[in-house]
Amino acid sequence: MDNMLEQLLTLPNLVFCLMVWVLVWAQRKAVSYVWKKAEENKLYRELLLPLGPVGTGGIIGALVPSYPYPDTFSTFAGRVFFGCVCGLASAHVYKILKQWIVKKSGEGDVAAQ
């Protein structure tokens, strides 16, 4: 189990999650720009927004076979599944890395001021 966890928490996998997060962010901004009342639409808010990262990750997994996927996910279906899982985790990975960067930079440290 530890080996599987080590295989999933590698730099390429974290970068994949961040790529999904950035693409979903850009998609949301584009939709909000084009469709001003998107947030008011129940279908958009309750179906498309939650499924956006999962779908984006799966599509990236399907379209980019040369990315360094873990050995367990080397098949087409494995890459799509891996992309969907990374899509689910993308927001959490972004929040954790952002907190880590703020902590390392010292900007969030009140005692340093």
Over the stretch 36-54, which tens digit does the pLDDT of each residue have? Answer: 888 889 998 899 888 999 9
Q: Is pLDDT above 60 for 32?
A: yes
For residues 84 and 59, give the distance between their C-alpha atoms in angstroms, rounded to a whole number: 8
The DSSP 8-state label assigned to residue 113 in this structure reads -
Q: What is the pTM of this model?
A: 0.79
In DSSP notation, 37-51 reads TGGG-HHIIIIIHHH
